[in-house]
Amino acid sequence: MLCKNCGKEIDLSNNKQVQPRQFHCSKKCAVEWNKKTYVYKLKIQKEKICPVCNKSFTPRSSLTKYCSYACSNTIKCNKNNKFSRDKIKCKYCNKEFTPYTRDTKYCSYTCRLEDIKSSRTHRWSKEQCDKRKGKSNPCYRNGLYSGESRNKVVQEKILIKNSKELKQKMIDECGYIYCQNCNTSNSPRFETHHIIFRSEKPLHEHLHSKSNLIILCIKCHNDFHAHKSKRVSLVEDRNLMDIFK
């Protein structure tokens, strides 16, 4: 087999030094051959002058503008440098200042906040604030402010108190907490369930009473919410139809 660069014969007897698909006798011939083919395939570019150092160079492509990475980095640093940019006026107070980057529009953080508030003055006016007070506030639900924590809400306190008493009664009688539907005690968590849902009678005075509460495991709790027909026997035994009507 002949070398593509110099035309010498390649000795394939020694497989450790020479590969069976090798087309050159040495690394020098391979490098020279690659240089020839690479230059032949590339389009010959005209010489350019670097705008930073004013040196002439042959670019790799038509898009290259600088002779080296150092020249390109100097221009990028000058663009982002705050001292190289001219002074501009603040968008809010019209004060002249030197911006830190090309995207800065305000001289300080306070000017930025004041500009945002001024664009929303119609929401913060006295008339609009009075409209959102009391029952017209979106956080005002069922006579209570839902933005507060549950421990401060009166109805939630009654629910927590009654659920604790039901669980303590089970511990006093049996020594453990169990599900009142499937009688299992192996559930990782036991939850209190409203037989008459909160969404049905949200403002009823007997909503969180013990007659309307039942302690269930997680699986049974999900089944009761998925199938309303399972509560029919409980409603009849506890006479909840007469209470809630």
Find out whether 213 and 163 touch, Cβ atoms under 8 Å.
yes
Domain count of the chain? 3
Domain of residue 70 covers 48-80
The better pLDDT of the pair 203, 14 is held by 203
Examine the pLDDT at 82 and tell me if it is beyond 50: no
76 inside domain: yes
Q: Rounded mean pLDDT of 175-182? A: 92
Considering the domain architecture, whether residues 12 and 58 belong to the same structural domain is answered as no
37 inside domain: yes
Take residue 171 and report the two structure tokens written for it.
């511990």
pTM (two decimals): 0.40
Per-residue pLDDT tens digits for 188-233: 889 999 999 888 887 788 888 999 999 999 999 999 998 888 888 9
Take residue 137 and report the two structure tokens written for it.
């506030």
Per-residue model confidence (pLDDT) at position 76: 72
Smallest CA-to-CA distance from 92 within 82, 106, 81 is with: 106
136 inside domain: no
Considering the domain architecture, whether residues 54 and 29 belong to the same structural domain is answered as no
Per-residue pLDDT tens digits for 133-175: 777 776 665 555 445 544 446 788 888 899 999 999 999 999 9
Considering the domain architecture, whether residues 67 and 21 belong to the same structural domain is answered as no
29 inside domain: yes
Considering the domain architecture, whether residues 2 and 68 belong to the same structural domain is answered as no
Smallest CA-to-CA distance from 206 within 214, 194, 224, 190 is with: 194
223 inside domain: yes
Last residue of a domain, one of 33, 63, 80: 80
202 inside domain: yes
Alpha-carbon gap, residue 195 to 215, rounded angstroms = 10
